[in-house]
């Protein structure tokens, strides 16, 4: 797997800590020889990221700030990438957000603002980023996002985020059709529960981990490296015939009734 991404410029969005799924992806793509560009939102994430890169002896080609809730910030980030890097071959979209108080109780209580916020950051951002990256992906490439089973089924507490992920998965299909003619593939990885900053403090997370150990065919939880390797597959030519797909990396849990 060492040379799968040699010479490829790939943008990774969403490293907030060593536990981030995007950090597992960073490891896999780095081992495959990719040149990595990172985007972050909070200064705290920038500090974590630079420390992690240092610790693991990974050199970033570029690190730029990008708040996906803000069109100007997206345009600025991608024009900096265009100016400093030129052509890119891939984007890893690993960002999501909903108000904590709406990730519990009844979905029927979701506020208009909370609904729109979750959609904006967790689903529309993939569209906005694809739009901004279009003229940098002149040699074709691959866009990969992260989703969860709550898009397909009702999972307690996931609520407004489940509806945002359903919108994200539908966007993957529509974007796959649009971008296919430019040689760009668009896919999603649907990961099982992984303890990250996002998962911290949300109700019902530990129960979900237990459920996988008990019911999933592989009887164990997945980790960031497994999601990283599946994302590497989507980034590489090994998946050249696949687009518009949602691939479950969840120990097989989704097949169990």
Task: Report the interface residues with ligand NDP, using CB under 6 A.
Answer: 14-17, 20-22, 40-42, 45, 66-69, 94-97, 121, 146-148, 191, 193-194, 196-199
CB 59 within 8 A of CB 33: no
Backbone angles phi, psi at 132, to 5 degrees: -70, -30
Burial of 24 (0-12, 13-18, 19+ CB in 10 A): buried
7/201 with CB nearer ligand NDP: 201
Active-site residue identified among 124, 158, 174, 253 = 158
Q: Could you say which of ligand NDP, ligand KAL, none residue 163 binds, taking C-beta under 5 to 8 angstroms by partner kind?
A: none
Active-site annotation holder among 40, 46, 124, 148:
148
Residue list 92-121, contact with ligand KAL (CB under 6 A): 96-100, 103
Encoded tokens for 91: 């984007």
Residue 24 or 150: the one with the smaller Cβ distance to ligand KAL is 150
Q: Minimum distance from CB of 136 to ligand NDP (Å)?
A: 18
Q: Does 157 bind ligand KAL (CB under 6 A)?
A: yes
d(CA 227, CA 191): 7
> Residue 3 CB: number of other CB atoms within 10 A?
9
Residue 144, burial from CB neighbour count under 10 angstroms (0-12, 13-18, 19+):
buried
Least gap, CB of 193 to ligand NDP (angstroms): 4
What is the C-alpha to C-alpha distance for residues 97 and 118, in angstroms, rounded to an integer? 6
- Least distance CB 143 / ligand KAL (angstroms): 18
- Per the annotation, the verdict on 148 as an active-site residue is yes
d(CA 18, CA 50): 11
Choose from ligand NDP, ligand KAL, none: what does 94 bind? Cβ within 5-8 Å by kind: ligand NDP
CA dist 48 → 22, 42, 90, 189 (Å): 13, 10, 23, 24
Which of ligand NDP, ligand KAL, none does residue 132 bind to, with CB < 5 to 8 Å depending on kind?
Answer: none
- Is residue 246 a contact point for ligand KAL (CB under 6 A)? no
For tokens 């265009």, name the residue.
82
Give the binding site for ligand KAL (CB under 6 A): 16, 96-100, 103, 148, 150, 155, 157-158, 161, 193, 197-199, 202, 204-205, 208
- Residues marked active site are found at 148, 158
């Amino acid at each position: 797997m060492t040379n799968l991404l040699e010479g490829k410029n790939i943008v990774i969005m969403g490293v907030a800590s060593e536990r981030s799924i995007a950090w597992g992806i960073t490891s896999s793509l780095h081992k495959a020889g990719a040149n990595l560009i990172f985007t972050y939102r909070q200064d705290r994430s920038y500090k974590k990221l630079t420390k992690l890169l240092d610790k693991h002896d990974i050199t970033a080609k570029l690190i730029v700030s990008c708040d996906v809730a803000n069109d100007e910030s997206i345009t600025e980030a991608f024009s900096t990438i265009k100016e400093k890097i030129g052509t890119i071959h891939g984007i890893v979209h690993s960002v999501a957000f909903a108000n904590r108080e709406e990730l519990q109780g009844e979905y029927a209580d979701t506020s208009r603002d909370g609904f729109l916020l979750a959609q904006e950051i967790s689903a529309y951002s993939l569209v906005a980023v694809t739009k901004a990256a279009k003229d940098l992906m002149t040699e074709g490439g691959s866009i990969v996002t992260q989703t969860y089973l709550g898009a397909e089924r009702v999972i307690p507490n996931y609520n407004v985020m489940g509806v945002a992920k359903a919108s994200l998965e539908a966007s993957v299909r529509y974007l796959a059709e649009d971008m296919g003619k430019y040689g760009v593939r668009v896919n999603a990885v649907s990961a099982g529960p992984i303890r990250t900053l996002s998962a911290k403090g949300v109700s019902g997370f530990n129960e979900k981990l237990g459920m996988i150990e008990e019911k999933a065919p592989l009887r164990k939880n997945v980790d960031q490296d497994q999601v990283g390797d599946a994302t590497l597959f989507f980034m590489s030519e090994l998946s050249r015939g696949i687009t518009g797909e949602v691939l479950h990396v969840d120990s097989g849990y989704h097949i169990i009734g």
